[in-house]
Structure 1
């Protein structure tokens, strides 16, 4: 084959491969971070599609690569309500926030460039960045997010860092939230050490407990933060609508990359999303799904507390879709899944090894569980089975 060298860096997603397990009706899978399809506002969207199609023939036409102007203004209004200084020209509509990750990689990374990531970090970001062959440095985290002292120590030792990628709200996979003070500190470090921050926040609306924390972008005074948002979790993923908020030079660069990649997002989908936001109370819809997911989180947390051995630690997320398990030192979570948990309990999780960009000191004793798409009964039964097998295995 005459493939480019870049294709050697394009690897299949471990989570997608594990999804194949879901075809086995006996397997309870906690792998995917899918939203619960029963929460999709199907009737409202059907009404909006029919309205847009019948009343606006331009819904079938090409539009600007930066995205529908009305939708961009609506997003800008929502972002400003959260303290982010922006307008419609500061926003580009994306094919999901994932496209923003690809564009960030394409725009900033040359082969061998250094990218900072949380340890652990989002697998989808690694997949997006890997094609551009960066060198990753993982920054350790605790219950309050990235450790700023460890970050500054890295910045003092390394030069030429392009950007720090992070999910500050209910992080995927660890479930932790970056504290307010650390968000301020990160922006200060970016200003002093001359790097960008890619703030990926698809779960921001999904807060179940605790006070809301201002976005990193809200503290940005030098245009160093690129905020990525998404309708995939708060509305529906199938419309593939996300957005970036950034300084206008970066927005224009993103729009040019988009023109090369796919010309634009679906005109119909953008107009329907705009009509939906104008016609229905999206905040009330978010409140409803938050109530639903809060219950699922609590079911999983309570069942873990009741059934897991004390040797297994876990995070209690204030939002999002995930909890992060830490097994005892030396416990191989990947081997345990394949050799013991799947054959004996018919339960699946994502081993933690897949979430680390910096593989020099790769921990093997972690796993990610998602509660978002499972029924209550499946959560209870799956966690109970895990607890029994873990108790036997660790005794």
Structure 2
């Protein structure tokens, strides 16, 4: 083994950090632990039998192409189907505006690769998706966090921050947002706030990266227009994925953007992995073409809706006073707030002993704040485990509260 590995690592490699969530998941592998930590879809939603049949059909009908390299832009049929779906949802796009990716996480990485030099700033939410923060930071991007209110990223603070940065001639490269069922907060940004942020981005001539992995998992409420549709000027880059609404193992995502920006993503992807798997793209295209995707999606929505309701009911029943939480209209997560004087890291140590796990909310805050918060996933565990897990979590919080009182 080379003896000077640390000395020869690139600056990018030195900036990389292990995912807090992935590391936490290692601690939750004991079968007795009920984990609310991962952002995992329920395995019961995976259409295994249908995919067995379709995989055979793809190999039978188009095996040579399925097992060969494909175009960097993606399988033509899949791109066509995805484009038509977005057109029905109000987006004015063609296939030239869409490239298939190896997961939307690749889209975040490529965005960092394309737009960020070391020391460049980008805007994100407080809190914001850890995978996005990690991808951008690995290219030397410096996050500037904007606090949330009940509508998501505060536009007044965004405006003030950009005005201050403009005076220093140090404007960020882009604004990173997750408008629908935000990870980790679970908040959906209403149309008026989306329009405010778009207007500010145009004023300061800054791109918006709209990360949209959960949009189709709406349980209740009114769907909001996508920021890409509201903008319609090429200011917004939208990322989508099948990971949360189909199967994560396929690792299929996509980017939608102005053609000039799409060209940059194609070039960046070519030097990364050449192309996304032809086989899984063709399986996904046939699955969609047969109408099976929408049928399965309805079942996923019903299941997650029920699981969310079970969790909210358990919170109402067991959580002590002083604890609050978001009530998402869809997605996979909610955010729980402890009293200001409590630290979720202290709680985690107690919770693990009581065989329940969550993700520290501070991991999603680029400025180190949010120490009294935690992200809770409701999609993965079954309803019985959910009730037991919430009861364990509530008992852990009561224990921490009791310890705080004794220490005063």
What's the TM-score once normalised by structure 2's chain length?
Answer: 0.94
What is the match of residue 357 of structure 2? 348
Does the CA contact (< 8 Å) of 2:28 and 2:357 recur in 1? no
Residues 169-208 of structure 1 mapped to structure 2, 5 A cutoff = 169-208=180-219
What is the match of residue 405 of structure 2? none
Aligned equivalents of 1:220 and 1:393: distance in 2?
A: 47
State yes or no: 1:251 paired with 2:257. no
Q: CA deviation at 1:110?
A: 0.8
Aligned equivalents of 2:161 and 2:90: distance in 1?
A: 30
Aligned equivalents of 2:110 and 2:229: distance in 1?
A: 22
Q: 2:285 aligns with which of 274, 292, 317?
A: 274
Does the CA contact (< 8 Å) of 1:333 and 1:367 recur in 2? yes
Q: CA deviation at 1:222?
A: 2.2
Q: Number of aligned pairs?
A: 391
State yes or no: 1:326 paired with 2:332. no
Q: 2:52 aligns with which of 46, 55, 79?
A: 46
Q: CA deviation at 1:281?
A: 3.5
Does the CA contact (< 8 Å) of 2:347 and 2:400 recur in 1? no
Determine helix, strand or coil for the equivalent of 1:92: strand
What is the match of residue 225 of structure 1? 236
Q: 1:29 aligns with which of 28, 35, 40?
A: 35
Q: CA deviation at 1:287?
A: 1.1
What is the match of residue 275 of structure 2? 264
Q: CA deviation at 1:230?
A: 0.5
* Deviation digits for residues 87-109 of structure 1 (CA, Å, limit 9, x no counterpart): 11100000110000001101111
Does the CA contact (< 8 Å) of 2:347 and 2:396 recur in 1? no
State yes or no: 1:357 paired with 2:358. no
What is the match of residue 93 of structure 2? 86
Aligned equivalents of 1:22 and 1:135: distance in 2?
A: 31
What is the match of residue 114 of structure 1? 121
* Deviation digits for residues 301-334 of structure 1 (CA, Å, limit 9, x no counterpart): 1001100012111001101111101111121101
Does the CA contact (< 8 Å) of 2:92 and 2:232 recur in 1? no
Determine helix, strand or coil for the equivalent of 1:52: helix
Q: CA deviation at 1:21?
A: 2.3
Unaligned runs of 5+ in 2: 403-408
Q: CA deviation at 1:363?
A: 2.8
* Deviation digits for residues 9-49 of structure 1 (CA, Å, limit 9, x no counterpart): 11101111111123212211110010001111112211111
Aligned equivalents of 1:28 and 1:4: distance in 2?
A: 39
* Deviation digits for residues 250-307 of structure 1 (CA, Å, limit 9, x no counterpart): 1111111111000000011111111111113422221111000000000111001100
What is the match of residue 383 of structure 1? 390
Does the CA contact (< 8 Å) of 1:330 and 1:364 recur in 2? no
Determine helix, strand or coil for the equivalent of 1:257: helix
Aligned equivalents of 2:400 and 2:281: distance in 1?
A: 51
Aligned equivalents of 1:95 and 1:314: distance in 2?
A: 33
Unaligned runs of 5+ in 1: none
What is the match of residue 25 of structure 2? 19
Q: 1:311 aligns with which of 322, 325, 348?
A: 322
Aligned equivalents of 2:107 and 2:88: distance in 1?
A: 22
Does the CA contact (< 8 Å) of 2:347 and 2:397 recur in 1? no
Aligned equivalents of 1:5 and 1:256: distance in 2?
A: 22
Aligned equivalents of 1:47 and 1:189: distance in 2?
A: 49
State yes or no: 1:290 paired with 2:301. yes
Q: CA deviation at 1:133?
A: 1.2
What is the match of residue 225 of structure 2? 214
Does the CA contact (< 8 Å) of 2:36 and 2:358 recur in 1? yes
* Deviation digits for residues 74-94 of structure 1 (CA, Å, limit 9, x no counterpart): 111111111111011100000
Aligned equivalents of 2:195 and 2:81: distance in 1?
A: 26
Does the CA contact (< 8 Å) of 1:191 and 1:222 recur in 2? no
What's the TM-score once normalised by structure 1's chain length?
Answer: 0.97
